[in-house]
Chain A
């Protein structure tokens, strides 16, 4: 680089960093090094609870990438499941966020809002890859009010719903016709509770925000500035759940059940339906063979025609010192070949365009895993991430606790949802 250009770029860097200081928290993605340069330097890559099961895969990824980009060194970090948000906030606050970070949209939202993540739609070096991913997945990672997508789409998941055919049969229900809509679900649950004398519950968990979404409730206003799930349809859903709870269609411990606990109850055949993933099949096979032989798999009940999906993404730190390398690596990990290889190892789904047309995801191979896989892949077309990205953990806790109050009969469903929405809106306004 000629001396003059070097001086110019140094000045530019200074200017940019000065801008970063003043623009702190404004949602800009300036700062860090240029993304257009050559991929080089030492970058850090952080995943979320994947080491225990996929160590070899990730070490292989890093090796392959370093072979293709000899000037880049990648240090892989993995964090345990619990307190991941705390870990990210400590790093973000102290300016030690890794260069490439595994995030879900609800995690990337506050980070992006504080100007810590790169807006991929505005970063030329990244935006050119947009076409490689399915539009739904790219859309799933874009954040309302922040003008773009802040993470490369990575793996997708959708919960199939497992059901216990024996329990269906015992209640005189057709084991081959699981409920498809919420109406059918409530009717079946009522029947099952009556037939078993209140011993068999159909569901183990209270309704979550995704349930409200699939029921067709308007969760937020159009620009995501106000929660609206207390609209009449939301009240209607909660009222039905309350009925379910009172008549034994919902597990009596639903108010405190964790997802693990719900899974346990399904395993014990006390609960007839439970959301899960393909990895649960192994558990059933090992721990409850009789359940495994009578396992039904269906989609979660749905009134909107659009199933729910969970999206994971890889975000690039906007202040990365080696942004070009970070973008290259994030793109590499979320590339078609790498995502498909990952999805062959575990029951998740690639977000790259065309991947799901592969026979692996369209043709059943006679195994149960294959059946779940094909069913889920089919659901992913047109799926949306119902959970609003602006909904913080605290707001989820508020909804959960208010729903519980309605089920306990301490508040009317309408009052509970009004209160939850009001409290959450207050938090939203402060944010």
Chain B
């Protein structure tokens, strides 16, 4: 007997996967459905109606009338892309040093990143702000990016990924006389492409979803990021679930699109960064 998937096992797997699908994605679809319902349609029916009877984009145009959604999305995009870039560079360099280079103080350096993971961020926001003020960076998008520019978790992920690459390839390069930087860029980096995708996605998500920090550090409403801007909806139009739903869909949709595009690299990358069993 070989270890093969029998027919009923397949059916059971699909059934279970569909059930989990309903639980994980269902709430987002419900939100999407609410956002497409017009003002004449009751959003509180029992049993709930999933498909809007007269789907309309009215709520989306209304959101765009109230707040400059596109400008805010552009700000968010700038912040997120900058964060992706700094995280890719900073985390891969630090991760490489921790995994591949031997030097006194390596444990201490590693400890710095682990400790950073434990700090409750809610308690340091004000101290961070004062710091930005001293650097004359408050009210700039740069200040929004900086605290998360090299995430500690990303450094540790990269460290694991590099540690899992067989050392022999690099050894050959050492013998060929390649210096550290050449080994890093030509040999190490290409073999952890997947983990780079993971870090890119984490950095993008982190920057795009952050709320409290951009709110504190930005004053000028022209520079608000999307999550902060959407809070104007929540404060002013809380009674209208359709508008709030449209706002949340606007906030989530770009992330889902981006993830769908990158998911192939993502799942490959997670394999590299994993702790070997």
Q: Which residue of chain A is the closest to B216 with respect to CB atoms? A: A90
Do B238 and A260 have beta carbons less than 8 Å apart? yes
Q: Would you call A56 an interface residue if the criterion is a C-beta within 8 Å of the partner chain's C-beta atoms? A: no
- Within 8 Å of chain B (Cβ to Cβ): is A83? yes
Does A381 lie at the interface of the complex (its beta carbon under 8 Å from any beta carbon of B)?
Answer: no
In the complex, are the beta carbons of B239 and A52 less than 8 A apart? no
Say yes or no: B133 contacts A260, CB within 8 Å: no
CB distance from B60 to the nearest CB of A (A): 16
With the chains together, A77 CA to B236 CA distance in Å?
Answer: 17
B residues less than 8 Å from A53 (CB atoms)? 66, 236
Could you tell me if A260 and B231 are in contact, using CB atoms closer than 8 angstroms? no
Does the CB pair B235–A49 fall under 8 Å?
yes
A135 at the interface (CB under 8 A from B): no
What 1/0 mask marks residues of chain A from 88 to 115 whose CB sits below 8 Å from any chain B CB? 0111011110100000000000000000
Interfacial chain A residues near B138, Cβ < 8 Å:
94, 96
A366 to B132 Cα, complex, angstroms = 55
Q: Which residue of B lies closest to A86 (CB)?
A: B216
Q: Which of A367-386 contact B (CB under 8 A)?
A: none
Interface of B, secondary structure class, is helix
A308 and B234 CA atoms in complex are apart in Å by 26
| A256 adjacent to chain B (CB < 8 Å) | no
Question: Which positions 171-219 of chain B face chain A at CB distance < 8 Å?
Answer: 212, 215-217, 219
B30 located at the interface, meaning its Cβ lies under 8 Å from any Cβ of chain A in the complex: no
Most B CB contacts (10 A, CB to CB) among A75, A80, A82, A260 go to A80
CA distance A347 to B130 in the complex (A): 38
Contact with A along B129-159 (1 / 0, CB 8 A): 1101100001100000000000000000000
Contacts of B236 in A (CB 8 A): 49, 52-53, 81
A75, A82, A93, A95: the one contacting B126 at CB < 8 Å is A93
User: Is B67 an interface residue when CB atoms closer than 8 A count as contact?
Assistant: yes
In the complex, which residue of chain A has the Cβ closest to the Cβ of B132? A94
- Asked if B235 and A81 sit within 8 Å, CB to CB, the answer is yes
Nearest chain B CB to A320's CB is how many angstroms away?
A: 15
On whether the beta carbons of B212 and A78 are closer than 8 Å, the reply is no
Known: A82-B231, A82-B234, A94-B138. A52 touches B126 (CB 8 A): no
Q: How many residues on A have C-beta within 8 angstroms of the other chain's C-beta atoms?
A: 31
B45 to chain A, nearest CB (A): 13
Query: Which of A82, A91, A260 sits near B219, CB closer than 8 Å?
Result: A91
- Whether A94 pairs with B133 at a CB distance below 8 angstroms is yes
The docked-state distance in angstroms from the alpha carbon of A326 to that of B211 is 31
CB contacts (< 8 Å) of A52 on chain B: these are 66-67, 232-233, 236
B221 within 8 A of partner (CB): yes
**Minimum C-beta distance from A40 to chain B (A):** 22
On chain A, the residues within 8 Å of B216 by CB distance are: 83, 86-87, 90
**Known interface pairs A90-B129, A93-B126, A286-B39; A264-B231 also in contact (CB < 8 Å):** no
Is the pair A96, B39 in contact by a Cβ cutoff of 8 Å? Answer: no
Name the residue in B125, B217, B228, B235 with the highest tally of chain A Cβ atoms < 10 Å from its Cβ.
Answer: B235
Residue B220 at the chain A interface, CB threshold 8 Å: yes
Q: Are B212 and A93 in contact (CB under 8 A)?
A: no
Residues 62-83 of B, flagged 1 when their CB comes within 8 A of A and 0 if not, give 0000110000000000000000
Contact of B231 among A77, A80, A89 (CB under 8 A): A80
* Contact of A141 with B by CB under 8 A: no
Chain A nearest Cβ from B197, distance in angstroms: 34
Query: Would you call B235 and A82 a contact (CB within 8 A)?
Result: yes
Nearest B residue to A81 via CB reads: B235
A91, B233: Cα distance in complex, Å: 24
Interface flags for B42-67 (1: CB within 8 Å of A; 0: not) read 00000000000000000000000011
Complex CA–CA separation, A87 to B211 (angstroms)? 13
- Of A51, A53, A283, most B-chain CB atoms within 10 Å: A51
Cβ B239 vs Cβ A46 within 8 A: no
Q: Quick check: A80 and B215 within 8 Å, CB to CB?
A: yes
Partner of A90, one of B126, B221, B233, B235: B126
Contacts of A86 on B, CB cut-off 8 Å?
A: 125, 212, 215-216
In the complex, which residues of chain B have a beta carbon less than 8 angstroms from the beta carbon of A94? Answer: 129-130, 132-133, 138
A216 interface hit (Cβ, 8 Å): no
Contact indicator A80/B219 (Cβ below 8 Å): no
Q: How far is the CB of B252 from chain A (nearest CB, A)?
A: 19
Flag whether A263 is at the interface (Cβ < 8 A). yes
What chain A residues lie within 8 Å of B231 (beta carbons)? 80-82
The 3 closest A-B CB pairs, nearest first, are A81-B235, A94-B133, A80-B231
User: Which A residues lie at the B interface, using CB under 8 A?
Assistant: 44, 46, 49, 51-53, 75, 77-83, 86-87, 89-91, 93-96, 98, 260, 263-264, 267, 283, 286-287
7 A–B contacts, CB within 8 A, in A order: A51-B221, A52-B67, A52-B232, A81-B236, A86-B212, A87-B219, A93-B130
Q: A81-B232, A90-B217, A287-B239 are in contact. List 5 more A-B contacts (CB 8 A).
A: A83-B215, A87-B215, A94-B130, A94-B133, A260-B238
